[in-house]
Homo-oligomer: A and B are copies of this chain.
Amino acid sequence: MTGTTDSAAAGGSTPEAIMGATYRALCEHGYADLTMQDIADESDKSKASLHYHFDTKEELLLAFLDHLYDAFTDDVGTTDGDDAVERLVRFVDELLCPAERTDEPRAESSPDGPSDDGTDDDGTGGDDPNDGAGTDEFEEFQTALLEIKAQGPYVEAYREQLERVDAFVRGRVRSIVADGIEEGTIRADVDPDDTAAFVATLVDGVNTRRVALGETDGSVRNTFLAYVRENLVAPGADVAVDLDPGSDADRDTDGDATGAADGRAAAGGDD
């Protein structure tokens, strides 16, 4: 449908082109109703040639989830920041984007949530079919992803892929918290594992609510920052939990070009 005019998709290696087509088909049709034909329609492949690579829709979706994991872990790469507290807040912002930063201009690699990318970054679907509709597409994809999550009890292989993403997220939080304890910015009595589970749960809650309720108001972020400030930050530590990419009027005009918009206001820099 769109793949034929997308040279990246048409010219990419076959599996990558299929991944891009799968992403678009999921956005358009959701998971439950998705057929191999829908995916073929989004690519320049025939349904028969899809079946050459993947016996079933489930098998194709597994490859897609695998691809998503790679793209996601590449995308969040390392999380920079002056200290562990700043890195934690930035990492959570990356996970919550864009729902929790609705009034922020879309970043370069949108849509850019915990598990949604893998099309823009790998050249398989770079030019959005509907430009400017990135948020819609993000939400469509989150919806399909929630359907896939609801398959967790039935399709063990899906669950394993979901667990892999989750383990990555929790591992990152855990290691940031451990770093913070070591550097003295996070209290020594904070449990890195509990904190990781808490953060992962909040992120899952935000994502579920975006789909189920259409909620994108960002209010959770404020409370998350309060939680960080009062539960995690070590007494007397010289860190500021005041990164507020979504609501500060000056977030984009501080001369720090990309800075504040991505949650990169220097913690402690403005006090």
Contact = CB atoms under 8 A, between A and B. Distances in A.
Given A205-B203, A205-B208, A227-B227, A213 B162 contact: yes
Interface stretch (A54-62, A127-135, A186-194, A238-246): A186-194
A219 B205 contact: no
Contacts of A226: 194, 231
Interface stretch (A76-84, A117-125, A147-155): A147-155
Stoichiometry, copies per complex = 2
Interface in A200-231: 200-209, 211-214, 217, 219-220, 222-224, 226-227, 230-231
Interface residues of A, number: 52
A191 B259 CA distance: 11
Contact of A204 (B30, B32, B190, B205): B205
B213 A163 contact: yes
Interface string A32-61: 100000000000000000000000000000
Contact of A150 (B143, B163, B202, B224): B143
B222 A231 contact: no
The 10 tightest CB contacts between A and B, nearest first, are A205-B205, A149-B212, A201-B205, A198-B223, A204-B205, A146-B150, A152-B212, A197-B219, A32-B32, A147-B150
Interface of A: 30, 32, 139-140, 143, 146-147, 149-150, 152-154, 159, 162-163, 166, 189-191, 193-195, 197-198, 200-209, 211-214, 217, 219-220, 222-224, 226-227, 230-231, 257-258, 260-261
20 contacts: A30-B150, A30-B154, A146-B146, A146-B149, A150-B150, A150-B212, A152-B211, A152-B213, A166-B213, A194-B261, A197-B223, A201-B202, A201-B205, A202-B202, A203-B205, A204-B212, A205-B206, A226-B231, A227-B227, A231-B231
